[in-house]
Amino acid sequence: MRYLIPTVLAVLLSLHAQADNHGGLANPNLIGDEALTALPHVDQALAEAIVAGRPYLNAQTLDDVVGQALDESQRRELYGRLFRQINLNNAPESEILLIPGMSGKMAHEFEEYRPYGSIEQFRREIGKYVDEAEVARLEQYVFVPVHLNEGSEEDFAGIPGMTPKMVHEFEEYQPYENMDDFRREIGKYVDEDEVARLESYVTLD
């Protein structure tokens, strides 16, 4: 019965279009070269620099590359279309402030409710301060890490760039004793950079 999973997950992955294009926000680890140059202020040289800098394990590493070519105003405009989503449970304030329109007060609220167990908790807590439309906008920029031993098929399918086969492999090796266990097993299927990228979306804490 496990081999029926890819069919089921094809549906799940379509429902999680945000994985590769998080609510309309392109992922710098996954977007193609041509699509990059269609974004605000991204010329061929910057597109090549973004691709060369992969994998981006957090928002700051992306900003380090983009900041060499664009000023703060240009970066804010670009980050309305392209962003490396932040981990709600461990991103520093400096990364939270990279989200367009973010204030110091709101960054504090993001940190105040840690740890987040789900994106629904984020919606509920941040919804105390801003309206539904703004919560939805902010949600594009964040994720809650998936627990490797407790995550469901749907949870794993929501990780950017996941395929039904890789979801199956994530489940196949449960329970993971530690992150080295994860790296070793998933490293059988993808290279070191991709293992690191995938690891940035999961937790054993």
CATH architecture of 146-203: Orthogonal Bundle (1.10)
Is the model's pLDDT at 13 over the cut of 60?
A: no
Report the alpha-carbon distance of residue 175 to residue 56 in Å, rounded: 27
The model's pLDDT over 118-164, given as tens digits with 9 standing for 90+, comes to 999 999 999 999 999 999 999 999 999 999 999 999 999 999 999 99
Q: Name which of 9, 172, 143, 5 is nearest 84 in CA terms.
A: 143
pLDDT at 148: 98
Say how many CA atoms lie within 13 Å of 188 toward its Cβ: 12
Q: Which long-range contacts (CB under 8 A, 24 or more apart) does 46-50 make?
A: 46/70
The segment(s) of the chain belonging to CATH 1.10.150 are 146-203
- Give the pLDDT band (50/70/90) at residue 22: low
Q: Name which of 3, 4, 2, 17 is nearest 162 in CA terms.
A: 17
The model's pLDDT over 23-74, given as tens digits with 9 standing for 90+, comes to 689 999 999 999 999 999 999 999 999 999 999 999 999 999 999 999 999 9
